[in-house]
Amino acid sequence: MSNSSEPSFSNKAEAFEAFDDIPTHTVETATIGDVIQQRFGRRDVLKGALAVTTVSYLMGGGAFSASAAAGNTSSMFDFKELQAGVDANHHIAEGYQAEILLRWGDGLFEDSDVFDPRAQTAASQHRQFGYNNDYIGVFRISDRPGNLLMCVNHEYTSPEVMFSGLTASPKDNDFVEITDQMVDVEMAAHGVSIVELEQQDGKWRPVTTSPLNRRISAANTEMSADGPAAGHPRLQTSADPSGKRIIGTLNNCAGGVTPWGTYLAAEENFHGYFWTDQMEDRDGKQVRRKKGLGGDQADSYARYGVPANWYNWGAHQPRFNVDREPNEPNRFGWVVEIDPFDASSTPVKHTALGRFRHEGCECVVNSDGHAVVYSGDDARFEYVYRFVSAGKVSDDREANKTLLSQGTLSVARFNANGTVDWLPLIYGTGALVPENGWESQAQVLIDARLAAKALGATPMDRPEDVQPSEQTGKIYIMLTNNNKREQDQVDEANPRAENLFGHIIEMTAPERNHTADQFTWQIMIRCGDPSVAEVGSLWNPATSANGWFGSPDNCTIDGAGRLWVATDQGKNWHKTGKADGFYAVDTDGDARGTSRLFFRVPLGAEMCGPCFTPDMETVFLPVQHPGTDGTEEFPGFERASTFEDPATRWPDFSADMPPRPSIVAARKKAGGRIGG
């Protein structure tokens, strides 16, 4: 897609992808690519097979063992792999069953209205499961040991399949069809659902009478801000002169659970919700301005892509209009901590963790007691971050709930020698000094991207989930793709130009010390089709034609320490010919780098953040935006979906129901641990 013309999108998911085609960040940092070029010369640093040669050389060669090449590997998994493909339904590996647990619009309370998609209201939506379910966290409930408390992010809304009567791309007509009432429903459908689950006859189901059930939304849930940036003038608005009381949370993508029993919801593509009234001529067409706004915070606006005008909420609610409330965008892009065991608790936005497009925020307790949170900033050429709490985890739950209020945020620099340095974002140190225009720690955190760049962080190929393993001290980084990396921007940690399929980096904390200043790293998998040399993929040869994937996004480590990866190819699924899926990935021994397919989503959907139950007998799989992504490429349909004319009506397959984002509960038919 060209950078010079305003792209058109058939749906929001495509807009989310395409936004990054307009880079907000020019790469200037000296990279590992310089090292490679010195050794091999620029001409030889190419995508494809030559990249394999380059990386194998630098990594010492022999990424996978000879026995793996012969197919003799000892995998940690034991199940018959599912066949890859794409059609209107979901599919699961043989011997397993997939049941629908919760759908958009399902009631969470005894008094919830019965879902009627043609007469949906914000009031109904506030009592129902939200839209586009993403990350899931579950908690044990001490006095109801058979039950679980589930928290689910609702990342965004897809109006073209939510509401009757819209064209496939409301953005193309500047949202003229979108009414106040629709905006109110969209805001109510964002946020988080908290719902207690019980098992009956081996099936999980929501307990609508639970006092713990709660809907948190973008519309009306009051949150507080704490940490160094709370109350800063750039967080103050006309509705909140304190700069500490924020209404709602936006674009909650992945997240985390803390060992003290709270839920972390990360705010990702917050910039998409901000809107300007100002128009400009672009290629002979009047479109909303994106650039040059923000006045004295113009650099920050540009770096964060504010406003992106993906939603027209600003036409209905002044706080989303940057001409009216220029500081409102600074109140999003944070990590929100929620106490799910108190339905009246106030969620807290922890500014100490920095402001960027947080994909997730996975937490581990270090051996010395500090809480450590890893987070990716999901955009092309953005960074990987780590937060280390100042305090230590204790038996005092209330004290633990303040651990993320104070600590050290660092950003990763991946060195050519296989080490990674954690560079602290501390005002007054390094480049973050007044001579360079830095005035306070609050500014460093509000503009974390700018501060990280000043420190020389390594620009990555869209860092999504960053998942530490409690068992091994390894940390897995999903780098989903980056079609904008040029050959002269290739470096060792991002070894392919025009990286369409992404890669997975494994970091190692020395002696499992997650607070160390320096880790080591290596690329574990370069994704894409291993049968096409030009792709330059790197898999264990034991991986089958069904098992390889593109665009790793979310991941989880199960109770046995095994890695599972979910993919999000967006509208580009046709480049692999596979629907997004959920894959079991070996990380150790001679099976390392082997992937096999366990579950795949219906046409146009994305596989989001998975969650195993503590007994590992169920895995909850969030299926997001069914029927929307890239349906133009699906043979026989070949057009964009709308409410009246969707590519699939999953999961109800009822003529009066649109497709509905839903959570699938997957388990072994015969019972027992998932994955063997």
Which of 382, 553, 580, 590 forms a contact with Ca ion (CB under 5 A)? 553
Q: Measure CA 68 to chain center.
A: 32
Which of 81, 160, 226, 268 forms a contact with ligand FEO (CB under 6 A)? 268
Q: How far apart are CA 323 and CA 504, in angstroms?
A: 40
Q: How far apart are CA 81 and CA 92, in angstroms?
A: 9
484 sits in the region (left: phi over 0; alpha: psi -120 to 50; else beta) called alpha
Which of 186, 328, 378, 447 forms a contact with ligand FEO (CB under 6 A)? 378
Task: Give whole-number Cα distances, 32 to 36, 94, 190, 376, 492, in Å.
Answer: 7, 44, 40, 20, 6
Least distance from Ca ion to the Cβ atom of residue 378, Å: 7
- Identify which of residues 31 and 556 has a Cβ nearer to Ca ion in the complex: 556
**H or E segment to which residue 186 belongs:** helix 180-189
Task: Please provide the DSSP assignment of 259-273 as one string.
Answer: TTS-EEEEE-SGGGG
- Please name the residue that has the structure tokens 């046709």: 574
Q: How far apart are CA 624 and CA 12, in angstroms?
A: 12
Least distance from ligand FEO to the Cβ atom of residue 462, Å: 7
CB under 5 to 8 A by kind: which of Ca ion, ligand FEO, none does 226 bind? Answer: none
CB under 5 to 8 A by kind: which of ligand FEO, Ca ion, none does 378 bind? Answer: ligand FEO
- Identify which of residues 17 and 240 has a Cβ nearer to Ca ion in the complex: 17
Least distance from ligand FEO to the Cβ atom of residue 377, Å: 9
253 touches ligand FEO (CB under 6 A): yes
- Identify which of residues 465 and 629 has a Cβ nearer to Ca ion in the complex: 465
Q: Measure CA 193 to chain center.
A: 17
**Cis status, amide bond into 651, omega within 30 of 0:** yes
Task: Please provide the DSSP assignment of 336-373 as one string.
Answer: EEE-TT-TTPPPEEEGGG-SS-B---EEEE-TTSEEEE
Q: How far apart are CA 346 and CA 275, in angstroms?
A: 27
The C-alpha angle 155, 161, 163, rounded to 5 degrees, equals 100
- Identify which of residues 17 and 106 has a Cβ nearer to ligand FEO in the complex: 17
The C-alpha angle 23, 275, 20, rounded to 5 degrees, equals 20
Q: Which residue is nearest to ligand FEO (CB)?
A: 253
Least distance from Ca ion to the Cβ atom of residue 67, Å: 31
CB under 5 to 8 A by kind: which of Ca ion, ligand FEO, none does 300 bind? Answer: none
CB under 5 to 8 A by kind: which of Ca ion, ligand FEO, none does 465 bind? Answer: Ca ion
Q: How far apart are CA 162 and CA 146, in angstroms?
A: 35
Residues 6+ apart with CB under 8 A from 109: 127, 208, 213
- Identify which of residues 14 and 378 has a Cβ nearer to ligand FEO in the complex: 378
Least distance from Ca ion to the Cβ atom of residue 191, Å: 16
337 touches ligand FEO (CB under 6 A): no
Q: x/- string (CB under 6 A) for ligand FEO, residues 541-560?
A: ------------x-------
CB under 5 to 8 A by kind: which of Ca ion, ligand FEO, none does 492 bind? Answer: none
Which pair of structure tokens corresponds to residue 661? 């984002």
Least distance from Ca ion to the Cβ atom of residue 623, Å: 12
- Identify which of residues 359 and 580 has a Cβ nearer to ligand FEO in the complex: 359
465 touches Ca ion (CB under 5 A): yes
φ, ψ of residue 613 to 5 degrees: the values are -70, 160
CB under 5 to 8 A by kind: which of ligand FEO, Ca ion, none does 444 bind? Answer: none
Q: What is the DSSP letter of 212?
A: T
Alpha carbon distance, N-terminus to C-terminus of the chain = 43
- Identify which of residues 161 and 293 has a Cβ nearer to ligand FEO in the complex: 161
Q: How many residues bind to ligand FEO according to rule CB under 6 A?
A: 7
φ, ψ of residue 620 to 5 degrees: the values are -90, 125
Q: How far apart are CA 558 and CA 93, in angstroms?
A: 18
- Identify which of residues 213 and 252 has a Cβ nearer to ligand FEO in the complex: 252
List binders of ligand FEO among 436-475 (CB under 6 A). 464
20 touches Ca ion (CB under 5 A): no
Which pair of structure tokens corresponds to residue 339? 């106490």
Task: Using DSSP bridges, classify how beta strands 595-600 and 581-585 pair: parallel, antiparallel or unpaired.
Answer: antiparallel
- Identify which of residues 339 and 378 has a Cβ nearer to ligand FEO in the complex: 378
Selected range binding Ca ion among 46-54, 482-490, 554-562, 637-645, rule: CB under 5 A: 554-562
Selected range binding Ca ion among 75-83, 230-238, 338-346, 545-553, rule: CB under 5 A: 545-553
- Identify which of residues 467 and 569 has a Cβ nearer to Ca ion in the complex: 467
Give bridge partners of residue 6 from the DSSP assignment.
none
Least distance from ligand FEO to the Cβ atom of residue 482, Å: 13
467 touches Ca ion (CB under 5 A): yes
- Please name the residue that has the structure tokens 């960040």: 25
φ, ψ of residue 435 to 5 degrees: the values are -60, -25
CB under 5 to 8 A by kind: which of Ca ion, ligand FEO, none does 268 bind? Answer: ligand FEO
Which of 359, 491, 506, 586 forms a contact with ligand FEO (CB under 6 A)? 359
- Identify which of residues 9 and 204 has a Cβ nearer to ligand FEO in the complex: 9
- Identify which of residues 223 and 265 has a Cβ nearer to ligand FEO in the complex: 265
Least distance from Ca ion to the Cβ atom of residue 563, Å: 10
CB under 5 to 8 A by kind: which of ligand FEO, Ca ion, none does 325 bind? Answer: none
φ, ψ of residue 520 to 5 degrees: the values are -115, 165
Task: Give whole-number Cα distances, 198 to 144, 149, 205, 210, in Å.
Answer: 9, 9, 6, 10
Least distance from Ca ion to the Cβ atom of residue 466, Å: 8
Q: Is the dihedral of CA 598, 601, 606, 610 positive or negative?
A: negative
Residues 3, 24 contacting (CB under 8 angstroms) = no
Least distance from ligand FEO to the Cβ atom of residue 333, Å: 13
- Identify which of residues 492 and 553 has a Cβ nearer to ligand FEO in the complex: 553
CB under 5 to 8 A by kind: which of ligand FEO, Ca ion, none does 467 bind? Answer: Ca ion
Q: x/- string (CB under 5 A) for Ca ion, residues 406-445?
A: ----------------------------------------
Q: What is the DSSP letter of 631?
A: G
CB under 5 to 8 A by kind: which of ligand FEO, Ca ion, none does 155 bind? Answer: ligand FEO
CB under 5 to 8 A by kind: which of ligand FEO, Ca ion, none does 337 bind? Answer: none
The half-sphere exposure of 325 on its side-chain side, counting CA atoms within 13 A, is 23
Beta strands per DSSP E along 469-548:
474-479, 503-508, 518-526
- The residue ranges that bind ligand FEO (CB under 6 A) are 155, 253, 268, 359, 378, 464, 553
Contact positions vs Ca ion (CB under 5 A)? 465, 467, 553, 556
